[in-house]
Structure formats: structure tokens, C-alpha cells
Amino acid sequence: MMRDVAIIGVGVTKFGELWDKSFRNLIAEAGSKALFDSGISGKELDALYVGSMSTGRFIGQEHIGALVADWSGFAHMHIPAIRVESACASGGLAVRQGYLSVASGMNDVIVVGGVEKMTDVVGDEANDTLATGLDQEWETFFGATFPGIYAMIATRHMYDFGTTREQLAKVAVKNHANGALNPFAQFKRAIPLEKILSSPMTAYPLGMLDCSPVSDGAAAIVLCAADKAKNYTDKPVKIIGSGQASDTLSLHGRRDICTFDSTVYAGKNAYKQAKLQPKDIDVAEVHDCFTIAEILAIEGN
Amino acid sequence: MKDVGIVSYGAHIPRLRIKSSDIAHAWGKDPETITSGLGIIEKSVPSPDQDVATISVEAARAALARCNIDPQDIGAVYVGSESHPYAVKPTGTIVGEAIGATPILKVADYEFACKAGTAAIQTCMALVKSDMVKYGLAIGADTSQAAPGDALEYAASAGGAAFIIGKEKVIAFINETCSFTTDTPDFWRREGRKYPSHGGRFTGAPAYFRHIMSNAQNLMQLTNSKPEDYNYAVFHQPNGKFPVRVAKMLGFTSDQIKQGLLCPIIGNTYSGSSMLGLASVLDVAQPGNRIFVTSYGSGAGSDAFDITVTDLINKLPRNNAPLVSQLIEMKQYIDYSSYTKYRDLLYED
């Protein structure tokens, strides 16, 4: 029997090359902002979930479930602290795992955070670390990188559907314009289409501005059983649907390289639980690591 | 006004040049992206028979050619570089002997990445001011190496400048100097290693910009001055972009930095960088001109100087030695294969 879950507080740090902020600084900042926003003091927490892709390679630190709980001041509470990893979906998956633990009745109030500190490595190290999210033996070992993999997707998309570089670039134009409105954004300037198109080539057809940058940042939310949420806030936001799905790791194993079947299935399950359809959605936030990634994400859902 | 200043100055830039576009071609990079991204068109390359000792001697002799002091009155020689020919055996003694300043002479070699030469100026100022020496000779020179294919390869060049510091016959008073230093490892080379390592984008905001901004602002506060009070400004030049950006951030105009901005056409001469920029300004400076100099050395620190040119500058026969602009024009291009041969990048086992 699954019960409803609500979000009762949120916190986010600035994103960028944050030379003065460590991994610990970032997650503690996001977490404490979320707790403050929710009105809980911390002793109500039943568990802590944290998603981060590659702390081992970026900062030489594993075991971050325990670290984050400790660094947040909860070590004496001895609550379960769980680290979740699924490459770039680590944060999203942490939310799902946290959601399930509250929906199932196991936990009443938890905090879920996502964090990455990428700027303590130099040169190609960040790219190499990200490439561990690909298939090491069949892709990474042979020199594939994330830009390279997404470039292949984009090339096929252009071949199958006549998608143009301009259409890809328009994703970046929109997203940079959104960034200009967000005080937490790494880049706060609108960039015109011509500049996106003329940026140096990273992996054809993706230019530098078709790609997301290396970044530091963290965000956290406090989840609560919906029937208890009114103890903390007048404006709980309910999670009304959640889905998760997997697919082949390697791009060449996919049924269709221009479709992210994992997001299609995950989306289907979320829509089904929520009893909604895509047309009912007012705002969509999708993973736009590359301009082509956003296009596949919205096509799939 | 402090009573210590520059008595004479000299410069040397090796004549060989390689274009950024040729280096880019060698590594399969787009030359236009590189050149416009770094703001460097070409850089100087030392010939096989040139090193920091020869460059320092050339610059020191140029300084002496312009003034008529007795070299025996030079009481100290400090050579700042990050490419001294020897790890142990000073460059300064070679210079001292070559200019006839030995044996009653204080000498040491200095190292602080790109600001070793300006640290030498500060030491000479103190020795002169305390009457421990009559004249001090401060030199900043480098023939820095960069790993083949690394971003630094487009900038690491060769050159140097020498300044005779004294109390008499001063052509430019150093009104004030201050420094800003932290332990910030943005760029380093371990003992025994051929090439330096660097922290990528970490060399920007937390390193170059933080130290120059802080130090420059401190100097203006100390001297109660503003950017508009200066005719010229010289900043350390690791590429053609950083000095332009930091000047703007501080409130200096592109006109003020133009004369001292040499990196786009000779590259980053490391310990010679700010010093050559200052020499270039002194080549054209007029009495009463005020000059703002801020160096930067990785590791990290900055030395800043507030300088006022005196009437004696027009009595200095500046043409007795090549002007920086003349050294820049005396050039001969080489291609990347010659460059690898001269820079010892081709290993014989």
C-alpha cells in the first residue's frame, strides 16, 4: 500500500566554477537551505539520500552517504544515509529512492540531495571521469566521450529527420535565455543564435555552446508523508507520479539510437501513476547535457 | 615621493619567432580559434646558443650603455627567472662578471614564477634606500619550456629586461611598491621535471585575477590614487586576454595599457613579462608621466609599483641600446620542426 508523498522544502546553491566551495560546503549549503525552507530542525529526519555521480574520481572521496550525514550534523542521530548513483541521473534517482521509502511507509520525513564538485580536477580529467558513465569496455575504452556519443545521436537525428544545426542551437538559445533570469545559474547571459552556431566545434555537429559546461553545485529537497505535510507547510507540493526504467548501457545496443527508451518507459509509468498525459504538463524540466539530449527527452515524453 | 628609482634600463628579446598558427597546425587545431582565443599571434624563441644568462647579460649591457655609471658602483645583482640554466650555480655571477661589477657584489638568483624579476627590483630598492649599495641591478628573464601540445606552448617565450636602481640620476622614481601573496598552487614544476603543470581554469579567477586585483587596489589605496591618475599601466601578460580584462576590471583604459602590452606579438616572457612591458613604456615616456605596474607570479603573488618619470629621462640616451619596439621588429620566422629542434623537444635516447 503506497501513500502520497509531498515536498515541504527546497534548497539550491549557485552553480558555477566555485573555487571557494568544496563538495562538503556545497551539499551542506543546499541541505541546510532545504531544511530551513521546510521548517524542520533536522531531528525529524528518518533518513538521508544523496546522489552524486563520481565523487571517487572528482574528489577522491567515496562513502558519501555517511559523509554527508556527518557533515550535516546528523551523525549522532544514526539515521540511514544512502548514496545513489546512476551517472547523470544520480540526483533524480536519489529522489525516486527517497520517494519510495516515504511512500512505502518506511520513512516519514527525509532529505534528498544531489551534488557534484567537478572543478578540482584539471584538463581532460573531467571528461574522462564523465566517460565512465558510458560502457567502459565497448565505448570508453575505444575513445568515446559523452560529446562524441551525443554527436553520433545528433548526426543520426539529422539524417533521419532532417534536423538542422540551427534547430539544435535554438535549444541553447532558449536555455541560456532562461539562465539570464536565474540568479543561481552558472551562465546568466542570453546568447544569440549566431554565436551558438559559430562556437568552436567540440564533436561535430555539436559546437561548444551545444554542450553543458563543467560545473559545481548542489540542491536538496525535504520529502514528507503527504498526510503529515500540513504540520510543516501550507504549500506542500505532491509527487503524483514517478517512474524509473533502464536500457542498454552502450549506445550501439539501443533499439533506436534516436530514442531514449529508458525515459519513454520511465515517463509512461509516471504519467500512468499520475493519471496524466503529456498535454497536461505545464512545465517540463529535462536533462539538457547537450542540445540534442533535450530534443530526445521531449520527443520521448 | 620615495627617493629611490630607476636609473637606467635595458631589454633583450631573442630574434627567432614562431606563429601561433604554425603551432596550431602542428597539433591539428584550428589556428583562428587558438589565435583569437589566446590573443597571441606569434612568440619569441631562443636560439640554441641563448639562455637566461645570455639574455640577462644583453639586457644588463643595454642598461649600462644608456647611462654612464661605473659598473663597480653596482653593489648588487639579482636575476629572477624560472628557467635559470643551472639549478645550482647562479646566473647572477655570470652577469656580474660580464658587466664588470665583481668582486664587491651581492648576488643571488631569484625564483617566483613570473614575478621573480619584480621581487628583485624591490630588494634593490631596499638595499639602495638603506645605503647598503649605491646601485642595484634587477633582472627578470626567461626561456621557459612548455610541454609539446599543451596550451602553454602558444605563449611560453623568451626575453628579459634589466633595471638599475639607485638614488642618484633617477629617470623614474618608484613612489611606492606593495605585494600580495598567498599559497595558491596554480602553476608549478617539480625538481627534475622538464615541463610545468598547471591547474587549467584554476589559473584564472583564484590566481591571476585575485592577486592582481587585490594588489593593484591596495597600491591605489596606499598611494591615494585612481586609474585616471596614470598615463600608463603594465600588467603581467600570460596571454593577450588576461591583461586586457584585468585592466578593464580595475578601471584602466586600453590606451593606458597599449604601450606595455607585448604578449600578442612576443608571447609570455614569464619573468620578463611585466619588466619588458615597463621597458617598452620607458622607451617613450616623458617627464611627469606616471606608470602603474603590477606583476604576477604563480604560486602565487603580485608586486605593484607606482612610478613617476623625471625630467632626467630625456637626458638618458635611450637610443644607445635597442628599444623594445626595435627588438620586436628584429625577427626571423622559424617553422614548428625547427622549433622542436631548438627547444630540445626531440629526444635522443
Domains of chain B: 5-171+317-342 (3.40.47.10), 174-313 (3.40.47.10)
What does the pLDDT look like over B226-250, one tens digit per residue? 999 999 999 999 999 999 999 999 9
Mean pLDDT, chain A, rounded, equals: 96
- With cut-offs at 50, 70 and 90, classify the pLDDT of residue A300: confident
Residue written as grid cell 529522489: A95
Say if the Cβ atoms of B30 and A122 lie within 8 Å. no
- Residue A17: which of B33, B198, B201 has the nearest Cβ? B201
Q: What are phi and psi of A10, to 5 degrees?
A: -135, 155
pLDDT score, position A210: 98
Rounded to the nearest angstrom, the gap between the alpha carbon of residue A18 and the centroid of all alpha carbons in its chain is: 18
Using an 8 Å CB-CB cutoff, list chain B residues near A20. Answer: 206
Hey, of A19, A129, A201, A209, which one would you mutate to test binding to chain B, going by the most B CBs within 10 A of its CB? A19
Hey, of B202, B208, B211, which one would you mutate to test binding to chain A, going by the most A CBs within 10 A of its CB? B202
- With cut-offs at 50, 70 and 90, classify the pLDDT of residue A235: confident
Kindly identify which residue of chain A lies nearest to residue B204, measuring between CA atoms. A19
Q: What are phi and psi of B188, to 5 degrees?
A: -160, 160
Biggest distance spanned by C-alpha atoms of chain A: 59
User: Does the CB of A136 have a partner CB in chain B at under 8 Å?
Assistant: no
The one catalytic residue in B58, B82, B84, B124 is B82
Strand ranges for A181-229 from DSSP E: 201-203, 206-207, 216-225
What does the pLDDT look like over A189-224, one tens digit per residue? 999 999 999 999 999 999 999 999 999 999 999 999
- Catalytic (active site) residue B236: yes
- Residue A200: which of B30, B200, B205 has the nearest Cβ? B30
Using an 8 Å CB-CB cutoff, list chain A residues near B211. Answer: none
Neighbours of A44 (CB within 10 A): 19
What does the pLDDT look like over A127-142, one tens digit per residue? 999 999 999 999 999 9
- What's the rounded mean pLDDT across residues B305-315? 98
- With cut-offs at 50, 70 and 90, classify the pLDDT of residue B262: very high
Q: Tell whether the model's pLDDT for residue A119 goes beyond 80.
A: yes
Using an 8 Å CB-CB cutoff, list chain A residues near B202. Answer: 19, 119, 122
pLDDT score, position A1: 65
- With cut-offs at 50, 70 and 90, classify the pLDDT of residue B2: low
The one catalytic residue in B114, B124, B178, B263 is B114
Half-sphere exposure of A32 (CA within 13 A, CB side): 10
From residue B31, alpha-carbon distances to A208, B19, B20, B25, B42 in Å are: 16, 10, 7, 7, 12
- With cut-offs at 50, 70 and 90, classify the pLDDT of residue B346: confident
Spatial distance between the Cα atoms of B10 and A202, rounded to a whole number of angstroms = 45
Residue written as grid cell 551523525: A75
What does the pLDDT look like over A48-67, one tens digit per residue? 999 999 999 999 999 999 99
User: Does the CB of A62 have a partner CB in chain B at under 8 Å?
Assistant: no
Say if the Cβ atoms of B198 and A122 lie within 8 Å. yes
Using an 8 Å CB-CB cutoff, list chain A residues near B209. Answer: none
Spatial distance between the Cα atoms of A245 and A247, rounded to a whole number of angstroms = 7
pLDDT score, position A228: 95
Spatial distance between the Cα atoms of B118 and B296, rounded to a whole number of angstroms = 9
Half-sphere exposure of A164 (CA within 13 A, CB side): 5
- What's the rounded mean pLDDT across residues B36-59? 97
pLDDT score, position B69: 96
- Residue A19: which of B30, B198, B206 has the nearest Cβ? B206
User: Do residues A205 and A165 make contact, with C-beta atoms less than 8 angstroms apart?
Assistant: yes
Mean pLDDT, chain B, rounded, equals: 96
Q: What is the pTM of this model?
A: 0.90
**A186 closest CA partner among A52, A56, A29, A17:** A17
What does the pLDDT look like over A37-49, one tens digit per residue? 999 988 999 999 9
- Catalytic (active site) residue B82: yes
Kindly identify which residue of chain A lies nearest to residue B198, measuring between CA atoms. A122
* Alpha carbon of B113: minimum distance to chain A alpha carbons (Å): 20
- Give the list of residues 6+ apart from residue A282 with CB closer than 8 angstroms, or none: none
**A152 closest CA partner among A47, A293, A263:** A293
What does the pLDDT look like over B123-145, one tens digit per residue? 999 999 999 999 999 999 999 98
